[in-house]
Amino acid sequence: MSEKFRLDKGGLINRNKKLSFKFNGKKYSGFEGDTLASALIANGVHLVGRSFKYHRPRGFFGAGVDEPYAIVQMNRNNEVDPNVRATEQELFEGLEAKSVNCWPNVDFDIGAINNFLGKFFPAGFYYKTFMWPKSFWYKVYEPIIRKAAGFGEASIKHDKEKYEHKYEYCDLLITGSGPSGLASAYAAAQNGAKVILAEDKSRFGGSLLTSEVTIGNQSGKEWAEKIISELKLMPNVIVKNRSQVFGYYDHNMLVMSERVSDHLPKTEKYIPKQRLWYIRAKEVIISSGSIERPLVFGNNDTPGVMLSSAAKEYLKIYGVLVGKKPLVFTNNDSGYETAIEFKKNGIDPIVLDTRKSPNSEIIKEAKDLNINIKFSYVVVAAKGYKKVKSADIAKISDDKKNVSNIENIGCDCICVSGFWTPTIHLASQSGNKTKFKDEIDAFIPSQSKQKETTLGSANGIFTLEETLKTSFEKGSELSKQITNKENKIAVPTVVEKKSSNHDKFWCVPLPEGKNYKRFLDFQNDVAVSDIQLALREGYRSIEHVKRYTTLGMATDQGRTSNLNGLQLVSDIENKVVPQVGHTTFRPPYSPVSIGAIVGREIGKHSKPTRKSPMHYWHEKNNAVFVDAGVWLRPRYYKQGNENLFEASKREAKNVRQNVGVCDVTTLGKIDIKGPDSAEFLNRVYTNAWLKLPVGKARYGVMLREDGIVMDDGTTTRISENHYHMTTTTAQAANVLSHLEYYLQLVWPELNVNVVSSTEQWAGAAIAGPKSRDVLQKLFPDLDLSNEGLPFMGYMEGNLFGVNAKIYRISFSGELAYEVNVESDNGNYMWEKIMEIGKDFNIQPYGTEALSTLRIEMGHVAGSELDGRTIPYDNSLDGLVSKKKDFIGKRSLSKAAYVASDRQKIVGVIPLDKKTSIPEGSYIVKDAKAKLPNPKLGHISASCWSVEYDNPFSLAIIKDGRNMIGQKLFAMSPLKNKTIPVQIVSSHYVDPKGERVRS
């Protein structure tokens, strides 16, 4: 198909490079420099989608970020990209895109029946129509609506594209490269400021590219090109196109998404798809321009009805005619620019101007060109279904309330201009208190909260002369404050033909007997009648009207609909717009892909995975890993066809019978030094620390001030003023902050220093009755007898040339040691342990066996110290000093904590000694009691006891101390299990703790 709507010359496209592309499976051609939208229009394609609610045909309405209709699904590099605006997507060779929101296809859409069933889809239709019967919602209504509504389809595959993040600091960030952006950037750059100039589109220059103005002795476009090329050469300036500043956050942090390769075909080279910039700017200049406002009339959503500025942009930038029989419908001078552009290209437009007798240079020029202009005229309704075929036009009375002399005239497009809406989104996001400017019927920024200044038409200034003057001034003034330099720039003279007056008219009244749908929100299908209905039903707050009707809630954030919606509400309510107020704009200004937000941090964590120095040994030896915070720990080492249960049982059994070794590198370690260390520990832990001798370790529990257990672990006195603290893996970071808090803020008089040494040490726990034999062979020179290195003793040794620290501590309840070496030697140590341990049947064990061992010993861990328990709940009474004060002690005397039926840890065994009890099960007295069944407590941890070969669990239950021996029930509604159980002591194995001391 040839490009029938492409002009022979003109535009900024590269006519030497023809590109082919596919839309809805059909092949078309365009040129380099086209957007998908301009190329489709050049090919005469105006039907690109279906509307959200009524599935009415949708074409193109704008030419950029303001586009509410032309949303397509892209296929690039075999990756789908849903919800791409065709008006923003640049064309590349081989581009493939398809329509969304139509089923089975864009030409024949079953959902369009909604259009004829319109009375079932009024405002708030979700809330009303599908309420009853309730069961129908899930089974009938929702699946059908889901299929018919929504936009593009997201891929369920992993996104293989690359995304990057970048951090940047600057003096001035300028958002938009139109006249105000260029002038302020230039002035600031001349003053030596570090400037970032961001342009959303591929071409710099904004409105200067399409308006017929003269700046100095150059055209607007030439002037823009000159300024940009100068800025690009300046070392203090970063100029970025295809880069949209979409979010304005606190303390002048702005986020910009740069479309690095969205406009390119697939390449082998590494190029990120998008890059997210976090920019901290001293000053921000918002030069985001303005968006043309639609006029509201019957069937104003028909393909072919579009913004007049868009029609002009297609002509001047892409050399494309949006139609050959254009109607221009305007309430201001902007429509004339479009009409004149048509005329210059040999097309005869008809201009309908709502004004009675306007006067300006550009109107005179249009008259001189013999353009057919009808004053006090309006479009009543567009005619045609998939494309405009004609329009009913009429004379409008002076009070704008009545139409007369309705006639039908042929046309193939209607270019509308209802004046301009400043793009104040970023200013609003920054916290600016915007105000309504009556002359332009729109909001502009007013009182700044952050360091932000809005210039040009974004600030409601619609004459080029004033825009340039104020922008040069502001750019210079703001940069001078930062750089203390000033290079005066003469403001060039400007010639502009159009005036900035407009007619305060925006909605064409319905002729008698007609009931045309007049759309306000083109993306969400919100019509005038929907707003009227919402107000009739009692909605008043604009925020409520918005949510009820979905006005302005689509992905375009109501760029073309908000103000007309507000006008309507204020008209009906007889209020002025500022009283109605507008809804808040929130970031992002336009949709940002999830990939860009994630950047390179893809995968299961957005944090790096931490691995112990022995990780690769575990990997080689069939370890199955489990996440422990950000660490990866071996859960079990698989032998043959073993499953988790079998392997962990084997590993745990081997610890009880022979000897096992477990990687405990992930435990938090904190080095504590200083003369007041003992006193500090004495305040931090619940037990006594002042008399711990050098070379001894002690188990300790620390509380929060509210008495809840924060963490537990052993701390060893290495020398007089030097301690080595261990924490649980999960709490390591919190404990360090906790210690620092007390040392820096509460007791700064204590002379103590703490520092994390977690990553400095690799640790191996050697546990089991044969662990001493292994250790003795590792350290043949040391006296490792029960007297030489008793339980809770500490020693330093030399492990085949490597310095090692030996702690005789035990989590498994067996005779056990923990050996630490510097991280770099971790793997060496591990291999030595395995080599020497072979004679003693050593086996590595993972976290699952570790859990089994500690559960059947009744040792508490994270599942008991869960942020809800105090020391007494965990039978740690012996560790709570009666004599000294410590963090959280005062809370322990609270009535609830000392209640006689306070919860306590117990052991739980199923009566059948076979059924494992799911963790999290409730303990109840009566399994058949009426719901809600009073809950005594819950199962905190479960294992298969290797000592007794039956299931064993720990539970924390009310009045636990008096429950021993009772028969109760464990109920798991999730697993649908009710298990009769017996309560026993939590110390199931070796209750006297003889093994660890053997």
Partner 1 sequence: MLHIKCPHCGLRSQNEFSYGGDATVKRPELNKEISDQDWDNFVYLRKSPRGKHLELWQHISGCRQWIKVERDTLTHEIFKTLKANEEV
Based on CB atoms, which residue is closest to partner 1, 484 or 744? 744
The one among 8, 250, 368, 720 contacting partner 1 by CB under 8 A? 250
Residue 186 · residue 294 · CB < 8 Å: no
Residue 194 · residue 171 · CB < 8 Å: yes
Residue 655 · residue 849 · CB < 8 Å: yes
Based on CB atoms, which residue is closest to partner 1, 135 or 744? 744
Binders in 348-377 for partner 1, by CB under 8 A:
none
The answer to whether 890 contacts partner 1 (rule: CB under 8 A) is: yes
- Binding track, positions 909-948, relative to partner 1; x by CB under 8 A: ----------------------------------------
- Quote the least distance from Cβ 736 to partner 1, whole Å: 8
**H-helix segments, 137-238:** 142-148, 179-190, 220-233
Burial profile 282-317: b = 16 or more Cβ within 10 angstroms, e = fewer: bbbbbbbbbbbbbbbbbbbbbbbbbbbbbbbbbbbb
- Binding track, positions 828-867, relative to partner 1; x by CB under 8 A: ----------------------------------------
Based on CB atoms, which residue is closest to partner 1, 811 or 886? 886
The answer to whether 257 contacts partner 1 (rule: CB under 8 A) is: no
Residue 22 · residue 95 · CB < 8 Å: yes
The one among 346, 748, 801, 965 contacting partner 1 by CB under 8 A? 748
The residue range among 116-124, 247-255, 588-596, 758-766 that interacts with partner 1, by the rule CB under 8 A, is: 247-255
Residue 375 · residue 356 · CB < 8 Å: yes
The residue range among 47-55, 656-664, 737-745, 906-914 that interacts with partner 1, by the rule CB under 8 A, is: 737-745
- Binding track, positions 265-284, relative to partner 1; x by CB under 8 A: -------------x-x----
- Quote the least distance from Cβ 189 to partner 1, whole Å: 24
Q: Which residues make beta-bridge pairs with 85?
A: 71
Residue 851 · residue 943 · CB < 8 Å: yes
The residue range among 3-11, 157-165, 620-628, 889-897 that interacts with partner 1, by the rule CB under 8 A, is: 889-897
- Quote the least distance from Cβ 841 to partner 1, whole Å: 45
Kind and range of the H or E element at 454? strand 452-454
Residue 613 · residue 453 · CB < 8 Å: no
The structure tokens 């070392």 sit at: 235
Nearest to 418 by CA among 509, 353, 326: 353
Count each helix (H run) and each strand (E run) in the chain, helices first.
25, 50
The one among 706, 835, 877, 901 contacting partner 1 by CB under 8 A? 706
The answer to whether 746 contacts partner 1 (rule: CB under 8 A) is: yes
The residue range among 105-113, 612-620, 718-726, 733-741 that interacts with partner 1, by the rule CB under 8 A, is: 733-741
- Quote the least distance from Cβ 601 to partner 1, whole Å: 13
The answer to whether 249 contacts partner 1 (rule: CB under 8 A) is: yes
Based on CB atoms, which residue is closest to partner 1, 745 or 974? 745
Nearest to 11 by CA among 253, 314, 297: 314
Residue 302 · residue 313 · CB < 8 Å: no
- Quote the least distance from Cβ 708 to partner 1, whole Å: 10
Amino acid at residue number 293: R
The residue range among 190-198, 251-259, 318-326, 900-908 that interacts with partner 1, by the rule CB under 8 A, is: 251-259
Helix, strand or coil, per DSSP, at residue 980: strand
Count of residues that bind partner 1 according to CB under 8 A:
25
Amino acid at residue number 562: N
| Strand blocks (E) in 619-732 | 623-628, 631-637, 659-663, 668-673, 697-703, 709-719, 722-727
Burial profile 413-440: b = 16 or more Cβ within 10 angstroms, e = fewer: bbbbbbbbbbbbbbbbbbebebebeeeb
Q: Encoding tokens for residue 909?
A: 């065994």
Based on CB atoms, which residue is closest to partner 1, 156 or 745? 745
Based on CB atoms, which residue is closest to partner 1, 250 or 399? 250
- Quote the least distance from Cβ 741 to partner 1, whole Å: 6
Residue 435 · residue 579 · CB < 8 Å: no
The one among 431, 788, 790, 991 contacting partner 1 by CB under 8 A? 431
Spacing of C-alpha 295 from chain mean position: 35
d(CA 237, CA 189): 7
Rama region for 641: left / alpha / beta (φ>0; ψ in -120 to 50; rest):
alpha
Based on CB atoms, which residue is closest to partner 1, 576 or 746? 746
Based on CB atoms, which residue is closest to partner 1, 645 or 741? 741
- Quote the least distance from Cβ 459 to partner 1, whole Å: 22
- Quote the least distance from Cβ 734 to partner 1, whole Å: 10
Binders in 525-584 for partner 1, by CB under 8 A:
none
Kind and range of the H or E element at 29? strand 26-32
**Bridge pairing between strands 218-219 and 214-215:** antiparallel
The residue range among 174-182, 248-256, 288-296, 656-664 that interacts with partner 1, by the rule CB under 8 A, is: 248-256
Q: Encoding tokens for residue 885?
A: 């004060």
d(CA 904, CA 872): 7
Q: Encoding tokens for residue 119?
A: 């009375």
d(CA 965, CA 175): 73
The answer to whether 896 contacts partner 1 (rule: CB under 8 A) is: no
Nearest to 489 by CA among 475, 501, 510: 475
The one among 16, 515, 719, 737 contacting partner 1 by CB under 8 A? 737
Q: Count CB-CB contacts under 10 A for residue 924.
A: 19
Based on CB atoms, which residue is closest to partner 1, 271 or 746? 746
- Quote the least distance from Cβ 546 to partner 1, whole Å: 24
Based on CB atoms, which residue is closest to partner 1, 662 or 708? 708
Based on CB atoms, which residue is closest to partner 1, 134 or 882? 882
Based on CB atoms, which residue is closest to partner 1, 455 or 703? 703
- Quote the least distance from Cβ 157 to partner 1, whole Å: 30
Nearest to 330 by CA among 416, 207, 429: 416
Q: Count CB-CB contacts under 10 A for residue 343.
A: 18
**H-helix segments, 151-307:** 179-190, 220-233
The one among 9, 134, 146, 251 contacting partner 1 by CB under 8 A? 251
Length of the chain: 998
- Quote the least distance from Cβ 733 to partner 1, whole Å: 8
Based on CB atoms, which residue is closest to partner 1, 537 or 885? 885
The answer to whether 745 contacts partner 1 (rule: CB under 8 A) is: yes
The answer to whether 899 contacts partner 1 (rule: CB under 8 A) is: no
The residue range among 74-82, 477-485, 890-898, 972-980 that interacts with partner 1, by the rule CB under 8 A, is: 890-898
The one among 120, 127, 616, 741 contacting partner 1 by CB under 8 A? 741
Based on CB atoms, which residue is closest to partner 1, 249 or 840? 249
- Quote the least distance from Cβ 284 to partner 1, whole Å: 13
Residue 492 · residue 210 · CB < 8 Å: no
Based on CB atoms, which residue is closest to partner 1, 573 or 706? 706
Amino acid at residue number 115: N
Q: Is the peptide bond before 871 cis (omega within 30 degrees of 0)?
A: no
The one among 1, 117, 253, 899 contacting partner 1 by CB under 8 A? 253
Kind and range of the H or E element at 379? strand 377-383
Footprint on this chain of partner 1 (rule: CB under 8 A): 249-253, 278, 280, 431, 449, 683, 705-706, 737, 740-741, 744-746, 748, 884-886, 890-891, 894
